[in-house]
Amino acid sequence: MKEDAIWIKDQVKAHTKWFEESLPMIASENLISPLAKEMMISDFHDRYAEGLPGKRYYQGNIYVDKVELKCLELARKIFKAKFVDVRPTSGTVANIAVLFALAKPGDKIATPELASGAHISTAPFGAVGLRGLNPVHYPWDYKNWNLDVDATRKFLVREKPKVAQFGLSVFLFPTPIKEIQDALQEAGSAVWYDAAHVLGLIAGGKFQDPLREGVQIISASTHKTFPGPNHGIIIADKVDDDVQAKLQKAAFPGVTSSHHLHAMAALAVTMAEFEIYGKQYAGQVIKNAKALGSALYEMGIDVMCPHLGFTESHTLAISVAKHGGGAQCALDLEKANIITNKNMLPGDTSSVKPSGLRLGTQELTRLGMEKGEMEEVARLIYRVIVKKESPETVKKDVWELKKDFTKVQYCLNEGTEAYKFYDLV
């Protein structure tokens, strides 16, 4: 019905206005640039492509092939990798493709536990379970929010997993891949790194360089610290032709048909923009996360890992057990237009009522916020979860802060000379 269509449009408009007036701090979200957004509503959205550039099963892909080849070229350059596939339509789809390429049902896979901050795709009820794999979990150093290096080396040699998977959804610090490399080699494990949360920090040279530290394959989504569209990517370097062929076959026809050409084009634009602005952006994201962690900690809020500077990424993990728990605090913050999510912390047994919150600085950074604004964000959070001020009262001050930060930065904004003359292909 016409009324239904209008109602749906009104809900989307209301959501958009809400987020314009909010502080979005979900660590798995970001904003695409105006130029990338143009790609999302282009005719690419309405078209179909199966296979690889130059080897399509459909006609009509002359310009699609050009854009995809440029996307692959930029990705190989940014990540210093020989192999890239941009056909997975999400991070989890990329993960499933890697699982199909590297392992078969019954194989053993080593992963972090969910309570250690792992992604649900590694859980028995996620992609790992659906592939029929046998997950075993790394020993964890909860104080330092990372692998227990000595115990992990012994664990790998003992368990000999077919695949050793690394990567987290609460990704505070680089994974010590180099420190366990000898054990990985002795175990004979394929080494896979899910970089979804930190892809932009890796691309900007500000986190770690997994492919130079012993990782063979990286999978990721492209819309977190990497500020692109909702899409996926597989990156590899030191893998043989057989593994490359398996990855490509897993991507298509394994887990995708057409690969959302509009999102692929938006990813290509983001790659081009990131080549210009990525290093500066990634560095500021981490500076902001550290500044926010420090400000919250000084206000008496329990931010994880103060002895390590709280984080080396975009993410903070904070305990709000003494302030009502993660579920209640996240709800109260939402009412104040501060968008976060509840999160399990070490020792929690319930994902529904955990003790923690997860905060991310990547989107606020994308809008131009820096250290001074992070200190103000910390005060707003403190007023809601500690002082228990009315969220409606705090909401007014949230908008007062946010109203000066509504334009996406670190990109080719329309009207600039770079935007005017930049030629994607």
* pLDDT tens for each residue of 350-367: 889 999 999 999 999 999
Length of the chain in residues, anyone?
425
| Residue range 91-107: mean pLDDT, rounded | 95
pLDDT digits (tens, 9 = 90+) for 162-215: 999 999 999 999 999 999 999 999 999 999 999 999 999 999 999 999 999 999
* pLDDT grade for 347, boundaries at 50, 70 and 90: confident
Query: Quick check: 370 pLDDT over 70?
Result: yes
Q: What share of residues in the chain are helix, strand, coil (percent, to 5)? A: 50, 15, 40
The candidate with the shortest Cα–Cα distance to 86, out of 251, 211, 278, is 251
Q: Which two tokens stand for residue 178?
A: 């180099």
Quick one: pLDDT at residue 414? 66
Q: Which two tokens stand for residue 64?
A: 């699609």
Quick one: pLDDT at residue 424? 39
One of 1.25.40.90, 3.40.640.10, 2.120.10.30, 3.40.50.150 is the CATH number of 34-271, namely 3.40.640.10
* pLDDT grade for 132, boundaries at 50, 70 and 90: confident
Quick one: pLDDT at residue 423? 45
For the chain, give every domain's residue range: 34-271
Quick one: pLDDT at residue 357? 97
Quick one: CA torsion of 151, 154, 156, 160, rounded to 10 degrees? -150
Helix residue ranges, H only, 103-180? 127-130, 149-159
DSSP of 159-207: H--SEEEE--SS--S---TGGGHHHHHHHT-EEEEE-TTTHHHHHTTSS
